[in-house]
Amino acid sequence: MSDTLTQIGSTSAVTSAPAAPPVKKGAGIEVTPRAIARIRIAMAKEGISPEQGGLRLGVQGGGCSGLSYNIRFDTQPRERDRVYEYDGVRVFVDPKSFLYLHGMILDYEETLMRQGFNFINPNSTKSCGCGSSFSG
């Protein structure tokens, strides 16, 4: 069986690992109903099964303010990931990224001027105009 990975935004790597048990909702990262609906639509377009795959949220070095958000689809969680489940949609977060993302809310905005995911992050001390870069 081959692993597939769909990227939304940043560089990524394919990994294989046993599934981690889901973490209860509200235990660190929140996802709004608008974001869940948009994730579900995108997963269906990409052929990612909600039962196996999910959305991977992460943080990596770089960007205007020092750190940047990373969002993509992954076919399964990694061994040490925190796994959140929201109305059948799973979200995977690696331990290092969780340090920066704990307490964050992922929202989706669709207006005349902008369409995309918003990271509402209380750990961000500085961000830039691009909306995908911050410092913690």
Can you list the domains of the chain with their CATH numbers?
25-123 (2.60.300.12)
The string of pLDDT tens digits covering residues 73-111 is: 999 999 999 999 999 999 999 999 998 899 999 999 998
pLDDT at 113: 86
Say if residues 62 and 68 touch (Cβ distance below 8 Å): yes
The string of pLDDT tens digits covering residues 25-36 is: 445 899 999 999
| Those residues with Cβ within 8 angstroms of residue 20's Cβ, 6 or more apart along the chain or in another chain | 77, 78, 79, 80, 81, 82, 83
pLDDT at 12: 30
For the purposes of burial, counting CB atoms within 10 Å of the CB of 135, is it exposed (0-12), middle (13-18) or buried (19 or more)?
middle
Cα dist from 59 to 51, 68, 95, whole Å: 24, 6, 10
